[in-house]
Amino acid sequence: MSSYRIWLLMGVGASVGLLAGHGPGSALPELTAVSPPLPPPPGSYAATSHSGPAPDAAAALSERFQQVVRLVSPAVVAVDAVKPPPADTGTPSKPVEESGSGVLLRWPNQAGTLVVTNYHVIGTAPLQRIYITLADGRIFQPRRLWTDPESDLAFLLLDATDLPTAELADSDKVQRGQWVLAIGSPFGLNQTVTHGIISATNRGQIHLGSTIRIKEFLQTDAAINPGSSGGPLLDLDGKVIGINTAIASKSGDSSGVSFSIPANLVKRIARQLFEHGKVTRGYLGVQLAATIEPAHALRLGLQRVNGALVEIVHPNTPAAQAGLRPGDVILKLEDVTLRDQNHLINLISELPPGQRVRLTYWRERRLSTTEVTIGEYRSPHR
């Protein structure tokens, strides 16, 4: 992916990019849709009746897509925000107008209706400069706002209680190859629907060059473009499996490599924000290499390219106290084999400060273990 960039879709001209448009631990609560549920999806498009001809597979799939769109599109919104001018440009500048998408949700014990979108869509815009446009043209402004820049999520509270809402799925059940639909406002074209499949899960090895630190994306080839940020990625039950966030592209437009925040991460972040007003994350105190090259892995005596390579151990941190050193490759957290550095970051972030865990690491061609007491991550964005 060296010739591509990652774009957070904040306007034409970005690469892996955030997709905003530029214009003038415990059991989690289940979210339920206001709209009636869809009928069960067809398990097979082959004929099961002997009384007539077999249904056409393409027609059956097309009808399923249409059912999902009818169910969910009323809950998909356009989000416009006017952000304060950048403070570090050194020259006078104007406020920044951004546009993106969002989806309406209900949350237990939370009065009103929530809009979930990307943090990069609204940024530091004041409430009075954020505008939510529904599918039927009604315009609302949020009464309250919760944000988490590290996961690029924002939740806006609307006072209205009679709005159509969508339902968050269990994104851990998402499989590569399954059909998905995306709905959003690319280039300001509200209620645009595209389709594709899940290309990969747990995709973390992308570099967004922003505040985003927690990366465990679903990858899809559904067409997503600037203005799609914050819109839902849907399964064929009409449930939200992800929030569309970024693309990999040479031009800043869709190239079939798009990334969505999984619904289960949305649930975890929302639960902490609503219950505690902030997200508490675990902290280890190391700087990790972005990748482990195959040649480097072989030089270290490893037979697989996995794990997290330690580049720097910060002093007076849990990692330093546990005896970790630069050059160590952390291979396991407890009994979980680590895919890469983002896998370790995500797992550590989910742990409560003060918990003691076992790390297995590779040093000087030998496996070693150590125990570490998790610290608390201090976000620079609080």
With 0-12 / 13-18 / 19 or more C-beta atoms within 10 angstroms meaning exposed / middle / buried, residue 112 is: middle
Cα pseudo-dihedral 71, 75, 80, 84, rounded to 10? -140
- Exposure string over 263-288, b if 16+ CB within 10 A, otherwise e: bbbbbbbbbbbbeeeebebbbbbbeb
**Tens digit of pLDDT per residue, the chain (382 long)?**
345 566 666 543 344 566 666 554 334 444 444 555 566 665 544 444 445 555 688 899 999 999 999 999 999 999 999 998 877 666 667 888 999 999 999 998 888 999 999 999 999 999 999 999 999 999 999 999 999 999 999 999 999 999 999 999 999 999 999 999 999 999 989 999 999 999 999 887 666 655 667 778 999 999 999 899 999 999 999 999 999 998 877 766 667 889 999 999 999 999 999 999 999 999 999 999 988 999 999 999 999 999 999 999 999 999 999 999 999 999 999 999 999 988 999 899 999 999 999 999 999 999 999 999 999 988 766 5
Neighbours of 190 (CB within 10 A): 19
| CB 167 within 8 Å of CB 33 | yes
Please give the positions annotated as active site. Answer: 120, 152, 229
Q: d(Cα 323, Cα 305) in Å, to the nearest integer?
A: 23
The number of C-alpha atoms within 13 Å of 137 and in the hemisphere containing its C-beta is: 0
